[in-house]
Structure 1
Amino acid sequence: MTPTGRGYDRTVNRKDNQAPASPELPRTKPVRVTVDVRPTVHRRLKRWCNSTAAELDMSSVDLSALLRVLADEVLEDEKLSDRVAKRLQAGDGRL
């Protein structure tokens, strides 16, 4: 482990600027995304999560889980994807 704790010391120079011996593996660690939403939207989403948890007899539904499912849905459902694209084109994605 390096002093920075990141596991790779970028200051180390490779001999003759050679590439690493093995090819780089694809990223498997999740990527964190932060998004700002209007307070009214946040409140409504939290209410949706709470009522859905009650309907499904779950202790809770996390907002982050909802957003991950929505991301999968927009990538898998062509009609939903088209509707979202039209809303983005109209400027609906702005705060």
Structure 2
Amino acid sequence: MSKADELRAKAARVAARTAPTKLPAQSAVTPSAPAETYIPTVAAPLAKPVRSTVDLAPDQHRRLQAWINDAAVTLGRARLSKQEVMTALVRRLLADDQLAAAIQQDLRNATQ
């Protein structure tokens, strides 16, 4: 299969996925001639994680890595990834209103 054929096949799959679904209406005008309504399909929610990156100053990076290493020792683990730390931070930020307010204040102060 050529690259062009692969692209055509992919375009057909995408078009089929986003084409409106044709469903009969619940209340037809007459029983002998049911009306049809078009209900667009809804795109599936993202199932894969979304990548986010952050740029840190070298000093911040060193201090974060030192904290992660200390946390790994405290937790009795050989290794703790930045991914685990960032996921825990975001989870806590979204669940803790006081932390969210403190972060917002930090952001306000940083822009002044």
Report TM bin, short chain. 0.7 to 0.9
CA distance in 2, matches of 1:90, 1:10: 48
Note if 1:40 corresponds to 2:59.
Answer: yes
Letter in 1 for 2:43: E
Alignment-derived partner of residue 63 in structure 1: 82
Hey, which of these two has a bigger chunk of strand by percent? 2
Alignment-derived partner of residue 10 in structure 2: 9
Note if 1:81 corresponds to 2:84.
Answer: no
C-alpha RMSD over aligned residues:
3.1
- Deviation per CA, 1:54-89: give whole Å up to 9, x if none: 111101111121011101111000000000001111
Shift of 1:10: 4.3
Describe the shift of the 1:13–1:30 C-alpha distance in structure 2 as closer, same or farther (beyond 3 A): closer
Higher RCO structure, 1 or 2 (CA under 8 Å, sep 6+): 1
Describe the shift of the 1:20–1:39 C-alpha distance in structure 2 as closer, same or farther (beyond 3 A): farther
Query: Identity rate of aligned residues, in percent?
Result: 28
Indicate the SS of the match to 1:9: helix
Describe the shift of the 1:72–1:13 C-alpha distance in structure 2 as closer, same or farther (beyond 3 A): closer
| TM-score, normalised relative to structure 1 | 0.74
**Count of residues in correspondence between the two structures:** 87
Describe the shift of the 1:13–1:60 C-alpha distance in structure 2 as closer, same or farther (beyond 3 A): closer
Task: Show structure 1 runs of 5+ residues with no match.
Answer: none
Describe the shift of the 1:40–1:24 C-alpha distance in structure 2 as closer, same or farther (beyond 3 A): same
Hey, which of these two has a bigger chunk of helix by percent? 2
CA distance in 2, matches of 1:89, 1:9: 46
Indicate the SS of the match to 1:90: helix
